[in-house]
Amino acid sequence: MSHWADAAPDDEYAEESFIRPYTITQGRTTSARDDLTLITVIATVVAPGEQVSTRGLQPEHRLILQLCRTPVALAEVAAELNLPVAVTKILVSDLIALGRVTARPPLAVAVGQGLDMTLLQAVKDGLLRL
């Protein structure tokens, strides 16, 4: 899948490529929810043994439901869809309104612990070893 902004300026489909995010969101430029951040964890809502119904959903909504069968950060969803984060927030917001996905902050933030300095130090050490 190519990125919507990868079209060359002289490409005959360049204009169509730049319209795509606008059409995906049906002209909306902001999410109905202001609590969605890059680290918000998104998960598909499915009862045990039940299949996810995708009837009436856009292809991007369907992909989000597939990606979020296990909890995934919003930033990861945007990266997998190859769409801007703002567009992904709008799509996720749609699915939340339909009751198809849930959104929550990461567990450390949710329980008020803030950032774990031990974890941050381990990440820093790992990056320095690269």
Q: Please tell me the pTM assigned to this model.
A: 0.67
Amino acid at 124: K
Phi, psi of 102 (to 5 degrees): -115, 155
Q: What are the sequence ranges of the domains in the chain?
A: 14-129
Q: In angstroms, how far is CA 24 from the centroid of its own chain?
A: 14
Phi, psi of 32 (to 5 degrees): -70, -15
pLDDT tens, position by position, 31-81: 778 889 999 999 999 866 777 777 888 889 999 999 999 999 999 999 999
Of 84, 95, 77, the closest CA to residue 4 belongs to 84
Of 75, 54, 59, the closest CA to residue 20 belongs to 59
